[in-house]
Structure 1
């Protein structure tokens, strides 16, 4: 079958797997405030206006958390599936599972059926979210790796935006079509993903691992040199992959337990915490429950529709502000991007906490449809809360959003990459599950202090990144090993180079990819720079 070698086209098809997560976020966020949804799954009766109150806060938290709960399991399983069947095939399996889950969700008549469908959808998202970054990172050139893996986050933001406005349009329909139409339409991208992947090549590193060397060389040539099998870059890359594969064959007993051995524990903790911190920023749960926040800020309207359009603005911001990372993340590097993002998000969360603490009043009985909407703010402070929320999204979108998907696949050797990234991604979904369940009761019980908790997490992640997260931008995956495996005399081998001494080496990598010869003077200068920072 004909295979497409354009790396941007490959990434564009693969990251549809990320868009599936975005569809789920916005379909739940936009739908939970509509009357047809609240009436279909009503547990609390009616308020003074005769409106359905919908599920209880804890049950709604459980419904929302069902998807990340399934994703946690799917991410763990994806490592085995990916290593056995290939990166591309594992993503195709995930797309089929998504279609099955979407059918069940669309047809849901009660809460248990809805939860089961969302768990199945989550299982699909877990597989795709873990293996799409692995697939792209193993096929992309180092100088473009950050940008291309970052497309995963951009696809998530597009999924959120597209589905949100589908839900916004559907909110003007009547009856259960308000939520059944969006839940049914979300199966279409999964079909597109499955078909599109048929025309994409498999990961060359996975092919090499399976001793399919000619296929691996063909893929490298197709993607990196327009089919030139004798390209110096292709031959050099293939030789590096061969050395790594042969070395790893001597240590071929691979399991999840190896990730917790002393030599691997440092990078395992970094990868896991990259995904954990991305959730503890509070971004995704704020996406799920943004209608709650904006309702408390005075944007409530008849049937919940009035809050949808202002909520949609933040999804537009999310899409637009991810673009700078796609253009310049490889130039910025991973460390600076994460540090700036943590600092800015801490600021805006603190601003929101202060505004709610000083200017809010407790919600009156039956004022809102959910007890999670526990505060009310009006006037200028309410506008400031909305603005601060938008700025928070604008800070997350070009920083932790794309880097949290780009960074973990860069940390691990080939033999462990599939399972390691699966473990990291499962950590993401475990915390996504916990926070999706936690936020509604948190707003109900500790009100504005919820923001303080997330601001504290952002401060902690800044410190953690500064001292422990090394720079991996523009380094071949095989060379990242040297950062963690320092063999200098007198060093502790598994600790490696201190994180704050690692640097971005973009210019040198660009020259190598263009097959330019580095002069002896440049090489000496480069080595001196590396030694000075080590």
Structure 2
């Protein structure tokens, strides 16, 4: 234990030394790196005082979470409908049901790997457009499917879009939010996921007695509005100031910050935040050049993934990945996917009761 603590202190000391070296090398390049900017109160009071603009931008970005939640919830109910099994009978088997469900998560895994490169190269909001387009293509394939293979392919493609949206939405929200509202606005992503799952259950339940294929194709088709709204409307809002600074587009960075804060460039708080963003961007660029000189593009992206697994950083990686791993291990997603199947097995009339329980579960 003492040895591990000593190594951790050594890693932190090495990081501080690297930061100081870069600071010394670049003079006064990082004067405001650790300073906070306060635009107003936090929480609901801060949102009310900040006006609707930043809340609207964050809400639209959080539609990525809504799409994720809806796609999770819709499959569980659809896969117990006899109208669905009449068209896709293999989906009624144990393996068919599990494989079809798992393809969404496999697609998410793939999407998570390439999103960082896409968002760094083409911007956060364009990456959201790409992700919502991929998601929409998958949703269309699912809606139009007439066999098991096509449906599975649609689930996988939707998963790629879902994985990128799950990363992209909170990243964009965090980078456009003022410091005092960042945590509050990020909660919108979690609320949107819960709302998506809940709405998917109720929509699927409402459609279950419709005649023919519309009983399951309509719930699948209703994945599209949120993704299309996200991809289209988010383009009306500014680029992330941090991304613009990373691309050395400093004037645009300041303009974007002024639009988001609804304040003039001469405001002291805007200038302080702007200087902090520039300092952080330049610091990260200098650190990157020091670690990987002359490397860029896909090669740099691969090298940065390898850095996560390096001996110096494996403890942080384990902590970050471990939190997410054990969150999934507790089984809530399995309940989301298969709760309707369990309810169907019950001898009681509990389909509506199941929808109510799931709603209460997610709201709590």
TM-score band by shorter chain is 0.7 to 0.9
* Deviation for aligned residue 1:22: 1.3
Q: Distance in 1 between matches of 2:64 and 2:351?
A: 25
Tell whether the 8 Å contact from 1:11 to 1:151 is kept in structure 2 after alignment: yes
Q: Distance in 1 between matches of 2:331 and 2:103?
A: 18
Higher relative contact order (CA 8 A, sep 6+): 2
Q: Does 1:165 pair with 2:202?
A: yes
Residues 3-44 of structure 1 show CA distances to partners (whole Å, capped at 9, x for unaligned) of x9822111100011111111111211111111112222224x
* Deviation for aligned residue 1:319: 5.0
Aligned counterpart, 2:47? none
| Unmatched 5+ stretches in structure 2 | 1-50, 293-299
Q: Distance in 2 between matches of 1:274 and 1:98?
A: 27
Tell whether the 8 Å contact from 2:134 to 2:161 is kept in structure 1 after alignment: yes
Tell whether the 8 Å contact from 1:157 to 1:318 is kept in structure 2 after alignment: no
Q: Distance in 2 between matches of 1:132 and 1:13?
A: 9
Tell whether the 8 Å contact from 1:67 to 1:119 is kept in structure 2 after alignment: yes
Q: Does 1:283 pair with 2:336?
A: no
Q: Distance in 1 between matches of 2:182 and 2:84?
A: 41
SS at structure 2 position matched to 1:172: coil
Instruction: Give RMSD over aligned pairs.
Output: 1.9
Residues 148-195 of structure 1 show CA distances to partners (whole Å, capped at 9, x for unaligned) of 112111111111122222211110111221111111121121111112
Aligned counterpart, 2:61? 14
Aligned counterpart, 2:274? 238
Aligned counterpart, 1:101? 138
Aligned counterpart, 1:313? 356
* Deviation for aligned residue 1:290: 0.9
Q: Distance in 2 between matches of 1:315 and 1:235?
A: 47
Q: Distance in 1 between matches of 2:212 and 2:124?
A: 41
For residues 33 and 307 of structure 1, do their structure 2 counterparts lie closer, same or farther at Cα, with a shift above 3 Å needed? farther
SS at structure 1 position matched to 2:64: helix
Q: Distance in 2 between matches of 1:297 and 1:223?
A: 52
Q: Distance in 2 between matches of 1:266 and 1:203?
A: 30
| Unmatched 5+ stretches in structure 1 | 44-53, 300-305, 321-393, 395-534
Q: Distance in 1 between matches of 2:264 and 2:350?
A: 55
Matches within 5 A, 1:66-145: 66-145=103-182
Which of residues 163, 166, 178 in structure 1 aligns to 2:215?
178
Which of residues 272, 276, 280 in structure 1 aligns to 2:321?
272
SS at structure 2 position matched to 1:201: coil
Aligned counterpart, 2:251? 214
Aligned counterpart, 2:309? 260
Tell whether the 8 Å contact from 1:86 to 1:206 is kept in structure 2 after alignment: yes
Which of residues 27, 30, 33 in structure 1 aligns to 2:80?
33
Tell whether the 8 Å contact from 1:161 to 1:315 is kept in structure 2 after alignment: yes
Aligned counterpart, 1:492? none
Q: Distance in 1 between matches of 2:99 and 2:170?
A: 28
SS at structure 2 position matched to 1:289: helix
Task: Judging by fraction of residues, say which structure has more helix.
Answer: 2
* Deviation for aligned residue 1:298: 4.3
Q: Does 1:24 pair with 2:71?
A: yes
For residues 136 and 264 of structure 1, do their structure 2 counterparts lie closer, same or farther at Cα, with a shift above 3 Å needed? farther
Tell whether the 8 Å contact from 2:343 to 2:351 is kept in structure 1 after alignment: no
For residues 147 and 293 of structure 1, do their structure 2 counterparts lie closer, same or farther at Cα, with a shift above 3 Å needed? farther
SS at structure 2 position matched to 1:173: coil
Aligned counterpart, 2:224? 187
Q: Distance in 1 between matches of 2:110 and 2:258?
A: 36
* Deviation for aligned residue 1:142: 2.7
